[in-house]
Amino acid sequence: MRLVRLVLALVLSCSVVSGCGQPPRGDAPLRFPNAPIVLVSIDTLRADHLPLYGYRSGSTPTLDRLGRDAVVFDNAYSQVPLTLPSHASLLTGRLPLHHGVRDNIGYAVAADERTLAVRLKTAGYATGGAVSAFVLRRQTGIARGFDAFDDALTIAGSGESLSETQRDGAQTVEALGRWLDEHAAQPMFAFLHLYEPHAPYAPPPSHALESPYDGEIAYADELVGRFFDRLSTRGLFDRAIIVVVSDHGEGLGEHGEAEHGLFLYREALRVPLIVRLPGGVGGGRRISASVALTDVAPTLLDLVGAATDGMDGVSLGAALGSGRLDDRTVYSETLYPRLHFGWSDLASAVDGRYHFVRAPRAELYDTATDPRERTNLAAERTSTMTALGGWLDRTTAGSVVAAPVAADAEARERLRALGYTTSSAPPSQDGGVRADPKDKVAAYESLRRAQRLAADGRDADVVTALAPLLASDADMLDGWELKAKSLVKLGRTSDAIAAFGRVLAIDPLKPETHLALARIFALEHDPARARQHAELAARRDPATGYEVLAELMLDENKVAEAATFAQRSLDADRSRYVSEFVLGVAAQRAGRCDEAIAAFRRAIERKRAEPSAVVRNLHAGLADCLARTGHEAEAEQEFKAELAEIPSSPEGRVGLATLYRSQGRDAEARTVLGGLIAAQPQPNADSYGTVVHAFTVLGDTQAAREWAAKAHSRFPSDPRFR
């Protein structure tokens, strides 16, 4: 009778699953054709900080419940302890050696990469994704293959770390949930990325724990639960293939690293991998064999019968059914110490119980007896070290450590003409011995402390803290850049330019540096140098570089050139709303109002992704053209939208006052235009001059005289008000 009940339960569970796989026979692969696929990536989540993996603290009821009804892989490893390259491996099933994304900055997923989303879309799936961090924005290529990809993040100012720019995961869950509601009735692939618990750790009070890191994990768990509830409401949860994983772990001070990227120890590489199959098939199994993030994409594709060719990872489908899997060697790497500091890159191989790290001083750990990797066995177990070292050599043979796009001879010549040396770039990959990151971790953590000082606005302390670091590590690119940004904020412009020059000596085409210099020289009224730096930025970042060039040309009233550069920016990235704005202004100044209206509206629509961003004259420019073409009611609303965002906008106030005056609403015109002074904390003579001039042009001589008298009392020496 017990056997009958068991068989009946299995049949019933499969009956509610679309395309439910048959019970496995031996190691036969499972198949769930057209099953919904849900992939959840919780950034920076160490496996050993989950109760599901034996952690005695923390609170993760959602993942605990999921684990009881899923297959749990105890030893899943990341290929790179950095968000962008790790997600590139997760979504392509390929090693960083092959997909080419080696760092968060300066790399992008190639246009010909067949990502998981691309392959599933080809197989007839609707594909939707939502991410929580700037480092995974669509411009990185990570969005390739998604029908809808929500990366609506508000980007901080130039002094902030873009890699830490993020949004609350609740917004990401809601964004993907809306897409899910629209596509629940068809085969669909949903990718959810949460940035909790990435540093800085700041869990909401409701999830405060003794460890802020654990508190953020608890909050991430709640967010995953919210998304699962949405799946259940739509009848998808039990029919779906659900995978929860992380891109990498976190150092938390072990081996001296507080966060991640520098080292390849288990705390940075070992991540959770939880796979729930439709109907809970195979639930409750745990698999101890080593697996890789590159295995996730081929596994999901295999489970729905889609092609997995060209991938480095392998399908775990048979193991999900049988619970049996042999160990194999797993590759990981970090080029972060090399690309950012000129230190040695690292590579590692996990093979069963042994973990080998290739470094200037090699390391070998027995993770079965030493899971926290405290005792280096390299000198004792030379045969194991030699075997794994040989495997790494074969695996990486012929691979090129491609730096971000190198500066060509013309670019270097232009840099020299601008006064920057390019002779002290880090040595080539065949050059001399680089420092072992183990010997530099104290310096690295000092840099991180300086970055925290910068985040707190303590720029003078930043400059002081960086002095000894940069004296001992002259090629510390991140340090020079941080110093330069702090010097800008301190008003030490010439020193900032010199510090940015040291960045360019290390990376001659670093776009962020050229863009910063372009803005500095624009403010210094040196448009020629500003333009040259923006052009150099466009070599590696055409979308932003051309956009800045468009703004520079607009400032010089070179409208045709501005429009050309704006279009080039949009050709590289259709989401550039500032470039659309420039096209609108160019058409407006040329009197092509229909064209301008369309461009302004596109800019406004695309700007919705950054609701806190401010573009002066965006709504007012649209309103001006609407008024000129007889759409006065719409024009009034757009002028008011301008003033709602920017109360001190002269274009908004003068434009609305002009509209009111043309309609005989003189009292309202006077109130709106006079409000320009009240809207400014410290009105200057130019503000008064704008008001007086506007009233004069509008023919309201009485108001013009009244405001001129007020201005004269404030600025008696200004000849405009005599």
Give me the pLDDT at residue 680, please. Answer: 84
Q: d(Cα 372, Cα 415) in Å, to the nearest integer? A: 47
Upper half-sphere CA count for residue 431 (Cβ side, 13 Å):
13
**Residue 221 confidence class, pLDDT cut points 50, 70, 90:** very high
Give me the pLDDT at residue 365, please. Answer: 98
- Judged against a pLDDT cut of 70, whether residue 16 lies above it is answered with no
Distance of CA 161 to the CA centre of its chain: 10
**Residue 410 confidence class, pLDDT cut points 50, 70, 90:** low
Sign of CA dihedral 183, 186, 188, 192: positive
Mean pLDDT of 390-404: 82
Residues 6+ apart with CB under 8 A from 635: 623, 624, 626, 627, 655, 659
Residue 180 has phi, psi (to 5 degrees) of -60, -40
Model confidence over 698-710: pLDDT tens digits? 999 999 899 989 9
Asked whether the bond before 200 is cis by omega within 30 degrees of 0, the reply is yes
Distance of CA 20 to the CA centre of its chain: 36
Please say whether the beta carbons of 268 and 250 come within 8 A: yes
- Judged against a pLDDT cut of 90, whether residue 229 lies above it is answered with yes
- Judged against a pLDDT cut of 80, whether residue 405 lies above it is answered with no
Q: d(Cα 520, Cα 489) in Å, to the nearest integer? A: 11
**Residue 200 confidence class, pLDDT cut points 50, 70, 90:** confident
- Judged against a pLDDT cut of 60, whether residue 602 lies above it is answered with yes
Alpha helices in 352-436 (DSSP H): 382-396, 409-417
Model confidence over 107-151: pLDDT tens digits? 889 999 999 999 999 999 999 999 998 889 888 899 999 999 998
**Residue 165 confidence class, pLDDT cut points 50, 70, 90:** low
Sheet of strand 330-334: strand arrangement:
330-334, 346-351, 354-358, 363-366
Mean pLDDT of 503-517: 89
Tokens of 389: 């070292």
Q: d(Cα 679, Cα 515) in Å, to the nearest integer? A: 31
Give me the pLDDT at residue 653, please. Answer: 94
Within a 10 A sphere around the Cβ of 253, how many other Cβ atoms?
A: 11
Amino acid (1-letter code) at residue 547 = E
CATH numbers and ranges of domains, the chain: 2-320 (3.40.720.10), 353-396 (no CATH), 408-507 (1.25.40.10)
Model confidence over 250-303: pLDDT tens digits? 999 999 999 999 999 999 999 999 999 999 998 989 999 999 999 999 999 999
Please say whether the beta carbons of 192 and 39 come within 8 A: yes
Residue 511: closest CA among 87, 16, 105, 193: 105
State the DSSP code for 428: P
Residue 275 has phi, psi (to 5 degrees) of -125, 115
- The secondary structure element, H or E, covering residue 561 is helix 559-572
Model confidence over 344-361: pLDDT tens digits? 999 999 999 999 999 999
Model confidence over 55-84: pLDDT tens digits? 999 999 999 999 999 999 999 999 999 999
Share of the chain above pLDDT 70, in %: 90
Please give the model's pTM, rounded to 2 decimal places: 0.78
Mean pLDDT of 656-673: 94
Give me the pLDDT at residue 121, please. Answer: 97
Please say whether the beta carbons of 687 and 647 come within 8 A: no
- Judged against a pLDDT cut of 50, whether residue 430 lies above it is answered with no
Higher-scoring residue by pLDDT: 496, 20: 496
Model confidence over 475-498: pLDDT tens digits? 888 899 999 999 999 999 999 999
Q: Range with the lowest mean pLDDT among 162-171, 372-381, 412-421, 649-658?
A: 412-421
Q: d(Cα 131, Cα 149) in Å, to the nearest integer? A: 8
Look at residue 613 and give its three-state secondary structure: coil
- Judged against a pLDDT cut of 90, whether residue 609 lies above it is answered with no
Alpha helices in 136-211 (DSSP H): 169-183
Distance of CA 610 to the CA centre of its chain: 14
Q: d(Cα 587, Cα 165) in Å, to the nearest integer? A: 34
**Residue 339 confidence class, pLDDT cut points 50, 70, 90:** confident
User: Please, is 112 exposed, middle or buried when counting C-beta atoms within 10 Å of its C-beta (0-12, 13-18, 19+)?
Assistant: exposed
Sheet of strand 241-245: strand arrangement:
148-150, 126-130, 188-194, 37-42, 241-245, 270-276, 71-77, 286-292
State the DSSP code for 237: G
Q: d(Cα 315, Cα 461) in Å, to the nearest integer? A: 52
Give me the pLDDT at residue 605, please. Answer: 92
Q: d(Cα 278, Cα 275) in Å, to the nearest integer? A: 10
Residue 439: closest CA among 472, 468, 483, 396: 472
Residue 623: closest CA among 578, 570, 584: 584
Tokens of 655: 């434009």
Mean pLDDT of 617-633: 95
Look at residue 32 and give its three-state secondary structure: coil
- Judged against a pLDDT cut of 70, whether residue 187 lies above it is answered with yes
Give me the pLDDT at residue 507, please. Answer: 83
Give me the pLDDT at residue 24, please. Answer: 41
Mean pLDDT of 319-334: 94
Tokens of 3: 């056997």
Distance of CA 549 to the CA centre of its chain: 24
Look at residue 383 and give its three-state secondary structure: helix
Q: d(Cα 478, Cα 542) in Å, to the nearest integer? A: 22
State the DSSP code for 665: -
- Judged against a pLDDT cut of 50, whether residue 595 lies above it is answered with yes
Give me the pLDDT at residue 277, please. Answer: 97
Q: d(Cα 166, Cα 17) in Å, to the nearest integer? A: 36
Within a 10 A sphere around the Cβ of 434, how many other Cβ atoms?
A: 19
Give me the pLDDT at residue 506, please. Answer: 82
Mean pLDDT of 458-482: 91
- Judged against a pLDDT cut of 90, whether residue 596 lies above it is answered with yes
- The secondary structure element, H or E, covering residue 289 is strand 286-292
